[in-house]
Amino acid sequence: MSASREDNISQPQLSAHVFDELLDSIITDVASECHRVAKLGLDRNLEEEEEELRLSAQARATVADPSNSSETNGKYVVDIFGQTHPPVATEIFECMNCGRSIMAGRFAPHLEKCMGKGRKARLKATRSSTAQNRYTRGSSASTYSPYSTPTSTSRLPNGSSGVSGHEYSNGSLEDL
C-alpha cells in the first residue's frame, strides 16, 4: 500500500484508500483474465452464441405476435401425410397379457389392472401382502438409474430418485 505519508492521513481516509486499492486490484485481476482470453482467442464462439440468442429472440417475437398464423394445435389437424386421427386412438389389438381385444386409447388403464400394477391395483395387493413387499417396490426406484449424475449437492431436494416413485409424475402425489 502506498502510505508514504501516513502521518498526515486520517483514519477514514486511510481505510478508504485501502479499500480503493483492493477494489482496483480486483478489477485489474478481472481485466487481466479477460484480456488474456480475448487475446488468445479462447472465446472464439462469441459470435455464434450471439447469433443463436438473436435468432431465439426473433423467434419468440414472431411466435408471440398474434397476427402470425398460430401453431397447429389440437387434435383436429391434418398431418404431413394428409391424414386426420380421432382424439382417442381407435385401433384395436390384443392385450399381450390377457388376450382380450382392447382399443388403443384405453390400453394403458386396461393393462394397469390386467398386470396388477398401478395405484388401485397395488393398494389392493399391498393390503393383503406383507410390508416387506412394499419396501421392495419402493427401493427399486433407485435401481433404474445406476449412472445418475453425481451432482447430488447441487440438485433440488428430492432431485435424486429413490424418495418416491412418482417424483415427477403428473399425477397427484402418492405417499408410500
Of residues 34-73, those binding other proteins (CB under 8 A)? 35-37, 39-42, 45, 48-50, 52-64, 71-72
Interface with other proteins, residue 169, by CB under 8 A: yes
Interface with other proteins, residue 156, by CB under 8 A: yes
Interface with other proteins, residue 154, by CB under 8 A: yes
Helices and strands, counts by H and E, the chain:
5, 2
For residue 87, the minimal CB distance to other proteins (Å) is 9
Interface with other proteins, residue 83, by CB under 8 A: yes
Interface with other proteins, residue 99, by CB under 8 A: no
Report the residue number, 11 or 172, with the smaller CB distance to other proteins: 172
Report the residue number, 12 or 120, with the smaller CB distance to other proteins: 120
Kindly write down the DSSP assignment for every residue of 34-91, as one continuous string. HHHHHHTTTTTTHHHHHHHHHHHHHHHHHHH-TTSPPPP-SS----TTS----SS---
Report the residue number, 11 or 83, with the smaller CB distance to other proteins: 83
C-alpha neighbours within 13 Å on the C-beta side of residue 58: 6
- CA 28-33-39 angle, to 5 degrees, is 120
